[in-house]
């Protein structure tokens, strides 16, 4: 197997401050994986054999309840760790991970986690921060679903996605992976119909531009107004 180059991970937040030797040692224990678009990388409640670092692509983290309702918990972008069950004190994955596009990841066996964390306080701190952010983020979304109306939630999610993964084009900010009305509805707790209706409205006004699984935010500030509109 080819040795992986430390430049792959050296500058990523979880690994800053780690010595070159340690990084190389870590990489020697990693395997690199490709995941085709649509593939499920791991499932909820499955034993967490590995944790992952996403090198390229986008991953959807999905929860499914007994009724079969799906909800997209979050998207993972390149450079982020995922499947880090140990960081939340679990031995099983808390959700399903699906490749939203063709993805490239590194994988490490979960058994090295404890050692890694105790040897590298910077890594530890970073991962706990990550978990903390995810908690805060989930909390915020809960608040939003509970208090804001659909229109605001959708505007907000579009802005967040644009922020997280947006790519500037000449028309505006393009959300850089295929995303359907259904996906948006699963992030905001509504139906694809309502999403479609609202976005059609915004498209008429020229605030967004969208095609099949493709959304460009043209006038972000208008959406911000919608997102933060005070209820009345």
145 binds a second copy (CB under 8 A): yes
230 binds DNA (CB under 7 A): no
Token pair of 108 as six digits = 């490490």
User: 52: which strand partners?
Assistant: 82, 107
Give which of a second copy, DNA, none residue 78 binds (C-beta under 5 to 8 Å, depending on kind): none
Give which of a second copy, DNA, none residue 203 binds (C-beta under 5 to 8 Å, depending on kind): DNA
Considering only residues 6, 101, 131, 150, which one is a binding residue for a second copy as defined by CB under 8 A? Answer: 131
211 binds DNA (CB under 7 A): yes
213 binds DNA (CB under 7 A): yes
Residue 213's region, left for phi above 0, alpha for psi from -120 to 50, else beta, is left
138/87 Cα distance (integer angstroms): 16
12/23 Cα distance (integer angstroms): 11
Contacts of a second copy in 61-120 (CB under 8 A):
63, 65-67, 69, 71, 73, 87-90, 94-95, 118
* CB 193 to DNA: min, Å: 4
Number of other residues whose CB lies within 10 A of the CB of residue 54: 23
Considering only residues 188, 199, 207, 215, which one is a binding residue for a second copy as defined by CB under 8 A? Answer: 188
Contacts of DNA in 143-202 (CB under 7 A):
149-151, 180-182, 189-194, 196-197, 199-200
Q: What are the distances in angstroms from CA 161 to CA 11, 75, 118, 176? A: 23, 9, 34, 9
Phi and psi, residue 94, nearest 5°: -85, -5
The site string for a second copy over 33-62 (x = CB under 8 A, - otherwise) reads: ------------------------------
127 binds DNA (CB under 7 A): no
92/13 Cα distance (integer angstroms): 25
Helix boundaries (H) for the chain: 20-28, 113-119, 121-147, 150-165, 181-188, 192-205, 220-227
Token pair of 30 as six digits = 């990693």
Q: How far apart are the first and last CA of the chain?
A: 62
Give which of DNA, a second copy, none residue 211 binds (C-beta under 5 to 8 Å, depending on kind): DNA
Token pair of 152 as six digits = 């605001």
13 binds a second copy (CB under 8 A): no
- By beta-carbon proximity to DNA, the closer residue of 190 and 216 is 190
User: In the complex, which residues of this chain contact DNA (CB under 7 A)?
Assistant: 149-151, 180-182, 189-194, 196-197, 199-200, 203, 210-213, 231
Residues at the contact surface with a second copy, assessed by CB under 8 A:
63, 65-67, 69, 71, 73, 87-90, 94-95, 118, 121, 125-126, 128-136, 138-139, 141-143, 145-147, 188-189, 228, 230-231
């Amino acid at each position: 197997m080819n040795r992986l180059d430390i430049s792959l991970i050296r500058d990523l937040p979880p690994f800053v401050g780690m010595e070159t030797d340690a990084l190389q040692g870590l990489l020697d224990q990693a395997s690199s994986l490709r995941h085709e678009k649509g593939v499920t990388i791991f499932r909820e409640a499955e034993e967490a054999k590995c944790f992952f670092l996403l090198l390229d692509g986008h991953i959807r983290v999905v929860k499914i309840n007994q009724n079969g309702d799906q909800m997209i918990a979050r998207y993972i972008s390149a450079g982020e760790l995922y499947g880090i069950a140990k960081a939340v004190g679990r031995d099983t994955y808390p959700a399903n991970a699906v490749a939203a596009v063709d993805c490239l990841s590194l994988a490490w066996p979960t058994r090295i986690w404890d050692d890694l964390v105790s040897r590298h306080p910077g890594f530890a701190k970073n991962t706990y921060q990550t978990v903390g952010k995810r908690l805060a983020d989930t909390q915020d979304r809960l608040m939003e679903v509970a208090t804001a109306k659909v229109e605001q939630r959708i505007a907000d999610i579009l802005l967040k996605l644009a922020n997280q993964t947006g790519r500037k084009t000449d028309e505006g900010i393009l959300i850089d992976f295929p995303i359907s009305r259904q996906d948006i509805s699963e992030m905001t707790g509504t139906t694809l119909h309502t999403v479609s209706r609202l976005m059609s409205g915004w498209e008429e006004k020229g605030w967004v531009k969208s095609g099949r699984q493709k959304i460009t935010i043209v006038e972000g500030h208008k959406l911000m107004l919608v997102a933060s509109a005070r209820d009345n």
